[in-house]
Amino acid sequence: MASSSAKPPQFSLDKAIRKNILALLPYRCARDDYSEGILLDANENALGHALPRPDRSSGRDCTVAASFDDLDLHRYPSPTHYDIKQRLCELRNVPSPANFFLGVGSDEAIDLLFRISCIPGKDRVLVCPPTYGMYGVCAQINDVEVVKVNLDVEGGKFRPKVDEINRTLSEAARTENPIKLVFLCSPGNPTGTLIPLSDVRAILANPDYEGLVVVDEAYIDFADEPDQASAVKLLVEEGWDNLVIMQTLSKGFGLAAIRLGIAISSPPIVQVLNNIKAPYNISTPTAALALRALSPSGLTLFRQNIRTLLENRDYLHSALLAPPLRELGVIQILGANDANFLVVQIGAKADPSRPDNERANRAYKYMAEKDQVVVRFRGHEHGCEACLRVTVGTRPECEKVVERLRDFLTRE
């Protein structure tokens, strides 16, 4: 039952989470009980790992990073990683480690959210195209129907149609196939546009909606004043129980290879996610690298890199919109540019003001195949006709993108 203090008042775990998941007795692993001493409880190799040490005398490279030599790789990793969560509390201004779930990238969190809330073949989810493709992939894997309410793309706005979303949620609530998840990507992928917290709040407050609102903030560190822009404010300061925020170390921290995703929510929802995750889903090497990144010196480097990328984003934005590229076929840059990429629209050769999807696709292939400058063609997504998504790289890489795009537009 919903408590009198629930926010919104109609929300309760009994309605948002599948009954079999709430009844689940989670697997209890060895490290849930004890983590120090003579550990003979988990059938680990007590002699240690069998990885070779770096052979410095021979001058040959070793495949094992020296920084991992002292890790207890023969032991199972922590199932909780409270030390990482405590550092995330300090970084994101969140009160308790109990608000954090750690997953193998954000994709694990997305998949688990489907599994805890959506009955296959019955419940539905709502997405706002153009958006991150894994929402749809996970929906299909879990046999969940996707309801689409396209973003308002007029003039490259890329803003949710809140009234239409809420109307859709309310109508679905009166059917046998309710919507249980709403995914909002902010800043969007591929839109690069931050969603105002007022829009998120309006959806959270829908009096008919009993499911979860998921705000995917993979690119939040590239927005202006990310602490103020993040939906974490809605969770911590306003106490919305039906809110889940996803973040990652892949983008701002530059640690895509370690696959560490983060979900931030109320402790009851985080506990449900922890109940169904694999017992040791975050590896010891991943945890060690995450702790290094979240250390004081790591955070200093993180903030320095963010500043550099924002400077490079400003350069790339200006260079792409300057002559001669505008004259040759760059129409505009869509979106609000709150991420570490830009969405560039390409025009026709005969009429540079008219979007030309085929020309944009040829530009993408030419740059990748002829010059090994790889961007993403996004012309088949809603509101992204004739668009290339260009990640902001180093300054020389940004200059190379401008040069190669100019070469193509000149030759075409």
Q: What pLDDT score does 95 carry?
A: 95
The Cα 165–Cα 182 span in angstroms is: 9
Query: What count of Cα atoms within 13 Å lies in the side-chain half-sphere of residue 169?
Result: 26
Q: Does 47 score more than 60 pLDDT?
A: no
How large is the average pLDDT for residues 283-307?
A: 91
| pLDDT tier for residue 23 given thresholds of 50, 70 and 90 | confident
The token duo for 197 is 């917290």
The Cα 11–Cα 287 span in angstroms is: 34
For 213-248, write each residue's pLDDT tens digit. 999 999 999 999 999 999 999 999 999 999 999 999
Q: Does 28 score more than 80 pLDDT?
A: no
For 159-215, write each residue's pLDDT tens digit. 999 999 999 999 999 999 999 999 999 999 999 999 999 999 999 999 999 999 999
Residues of the chain with pLDDT > 90, as a percent, come to 75
Q: What pLDDT score does 54 carry?
A: 58
Q: What pLDDT score does 42 carry?
A: 52
| pLDDT tier for residue 31 given thresholds of 50, 70 and 90 | low
For 256-276, write each residue's pLDDT tens digit. 988 999 999 999 999 999 999
Q: Which residue carries 């996707």 as its tokens?
A: 146
Q: Does 48 score more than 90 pLDDT?
A: no
Contact 116, 14 (CB under 8 A): no
Q: Does 63 score more than 50 pLDDT?
A: no
How large is the average pLDDT for residues 384-409?
A: 94
Q: Does 40 score more than 50 pLDDT?
A: no
Phi, psi of 147, deg, nearest 5: -100, 130
The Cα 161–Cα 368 span in angstroms is: 36
Q: What is the mean pLDDT of the chain?
A: 89
Domains of the chain: 30-43+299-411 (3.90.1150.10), 75-294 (3.40.640.10)
How large is the average pLDDT for residues 133-152?
A: 94
How large is the average pLDDT for residues 398-409?
A: 94
Phi, psi of 185, deg, nearest 5: -95, 120
Q: What is the pTM of this model?
A: 0.89
Q: What pLDDT score does 64 carry?
A: 45
